[in-house]
Structure 1
Amino acid sequence: MKTTFAKTSPIKSIFAALAMSGVSIPLAFAADAVIEQDPTPPPPAVVEDAALYGYYVAARLGFALPDDTSFGLDTAADVPTGVSTAYEDWNLSGAVAAGMEFGNGFRGELELGYSSFDVESHRLTALDTRFGGSDAFGDATAITGLVNGYYDFDLGTFKPYVGAGIGMAQLDFDNYGINLAAPTAGLPAGPVTAIDDSGYGFAWQVGLGTSVAVTETIDFEIGYRYSGIENVELTAVDGTDTDVSLDSHSVMSGLRFKF
């Protein structure tokens, strides 16, 4: 039997060789790429969120308008009397604080405050007699330690806030007395001190205000607060024990330094 071989033209051979080369070269590169590829996938990208916590210190200064206070005298006498004291309209008040921003508008702080109140007049309730000007003397000082909590409303440039706090206070009634032109109700003429004592009591405050960013790390704040010091036990010079409370309105401004 005769075997017949098909003849292949040179042109067809060249095209066949090129076709084979064109397939084999990409496959070789693909194989190298698979071998050189790191089998360990890259870690997921970490997106840093805004800090939820931040610390700050604050310094505040303002003026306080206290309500009248009262204390008793000679409760064992036939005609015991009380003393009602009015204060000057504006009195110095200041505070320093250290706090933390918790995120979502909340922040808390520890605050140490100081207030000084100058006496304007004393009134003896039993005699219905008022002593003012140079005939009334004395001043009160209050040192407070408070734990305050605030909520800030983020409105962009301005951040209004509401807040409240509780703590303890030392209240000092320093040399409260009157000048008598003549002996009155058994008291001698001249300066008569009714009470000169200090004690401790529960303290609280509620307030509102607003802050504005001065720089990225400094905020200016201004606000109003109503505060109280409750049931401070004081003893008058005649031995009469009495509970004294002092409430006041204040307007304070200051700076918060964040870090």
Structure 2
Amino acid sequence: MKKTLALFMATAMFAPSAFAAEITPYVGVGLVIDKAGTSAKRVKFDASKVPADIPHAFVANAGDNMDFDMAFAGEITAGVKIGSVRAELEAAIRSASEDDYELFNGTVFEMGPLSVPAEIETSTSVRHNSYMANVYYDFDFGNSSWTPYIGAGVGLGVYRQKATVDIDLPDQFEGPAAAMGIPVGEMEVANDTLYEFEWQVGIGTAYHFSEDWAMDIGYRFNSSNVADEFVYAHEIKVGVRYTF
């Protein structure tokens, strides 16, 4: 009986450390550099369809690869650390990524004996915000100030898309072109907001300045399907984290 009681007391003493990891909340902020890409192609312009079939002169998804410029994001995070695992909520608000390019520059059609030149430019702008639930695993190396981690997350992506086309003709041709139903000047051809499921995976490391403060440096790959196109972003994050 005494041996049984002693064994029970020993088990009770060691159970908290063995089976109940400490739950530690934390918050963080970060700056993200974002380079986006997509499987969608640029628009192509077919001058042979002007002026007889103007609506089909602009051929979607038929040109070169789209080339979005870099965007920047600010993000806030809040989570809890349980042993080596962190569960986290993340909101990232990004600046717009734009792809501006010259669509056409040359003779667009013949008007009597005259050749009508045109310069056509287009711009596609995408502003992407995300709201994610992430799980990370921290690799603790004992007394080291560095803690590498890997992680993944799922959530909601909000994509605000806007596209414009700017058709520039010489002044003397603008009136006759308008009379023939040929649009002139800048036109908005798309403006919508889409809500999509998205996912991400990441790797990084935290450097602990103190027991409470850490710097977070990481890379992540973020992706979604938007309007049946594969959309992705390579992102580098630099942030700080405060543990309560």
Aligned pair partner of 2:233 in 248, 253, 257:
248
Residue 158 of structure 1 and its aligned partner are, at CA, apart by 0.7
Measured against aligned partners, the alpha-carbon deviations of 1:156-203 in whole angstroms (never above 9, x if no partner) come to: 2111111110111110013x11222237xx752221222111111111
Cα separation, partners in 2 of 1:121 and 1:63, compared to 1, 3 Å: same
Letter in 2 for 1:255: V
- Whole-angstrom CA distance in 1 between matches of 2:189 and 2:25: 46
Matched, 1:62 2:49: no
* TM alignment of 1:1-259, pairs within 5 A: 49=17, 52-68=22-38, 70=40, 81-83=59-61, 85-88=66-69, 90-103=70-83, 105-122=84-101, 135-155=121-141, 156-174=144-162, 176-182=163-169, 188-232=183-227, 243-259=228-244
Residue 85 of structure 1 and its aligned partner are, at CA, apart by 3.7
- Structure 2 gaps, min length 5: 1-8, 44-54, 105-119, 170-176
Residue 208 of structure 1 and its aligned partner are, at CA, apart by 0.5
- Whole-angstrom CA distance in 2 between matches of 1:122 and 1:188: 19
**What TM-score does the superposition give when structure 1 sets the normalisation length?**
0.64
- Whole-angstrom CA distance in 2 between matches of 1:206 and 1:94: 18
Conserved in 2, the CA contact under 8 Å of 1:161 and 1:208? yes
Cα separation, partners in 2 of 1:91 and 1:165, compared to 1, 3 Å: same
Measured against aligned partners, the alpha-carbon deviations of 1:204-245 in whole angstroms (never above 9, x if no partner) come to: 11110100101111111000111013234xxxxxxxxxx444
Letter in 1 for 2:166: N
Letter in 2 for 1:180: I
- Report the count of equivalent residues: 192
- Whole-angstrom CA distance in 2 between matches of 1:209 and 1:202: 24
Conserved in 1, the CA contact under 8 Å of 2:204 and 2:218? yes
Report % sequence identity.
Answer: 26
- Whole-angstrom CA distance in 2 between matches of 1:215 and 1:166: 31
Conserved in 2, the CA contact under 8 Å of 1:82 and 1:124? no
Residue 149 of structure 1 and its aligned partner are, at CA, apart by 0.7
Letter in 1 for 2:67: A
Cα separation, partners in 2 of 1:59 and 1:148, compared to 1, 3 Å: same
- Whole-angstrom CA distance in 1 between matches of 2:39 and 2:124: 13
Conserved in 2, the CA contact under 8 Å of 1:136 and 1:178? yes
Residue 78 of structure 1 and its aligned partner are, at CA, apart by 5.8
Q: Which residue of 1 aligns with 2:3?
A: none
Letter in 1 for 2:60: G
Conserved in 1, the CA contact under 8 Å of 2:68 and 2:97? yes
**What TM-score does the superposition give when structure 2 sets the normalisation length?**
0.68
Cα separation, partners in 2 of 1:255 and 1:78, compared to 1, 3 Å: closer
Cα separation, partners in 2 of 1:181 and 1:101, compared to 1, 3 Å: same
Cα separation, partners in 2 of 1:87 and 1:106, compared to 1, 3 Å: same
- Structure 1 gaps, min length 5: 1-42, 126-133, 233-242
Residue 62 of structure 1 and its aligned partner are, at CA, apart by 1.8
Conserved in 2, the CA contact under 8 Å of 1:99 and 1:109? yes
Residue 121 of structure 1 and its aligned partner are, at CA, apart by 2.4
- Whole-angstrom CA distance in 2 between matches of 1:148 and 1:122: 37
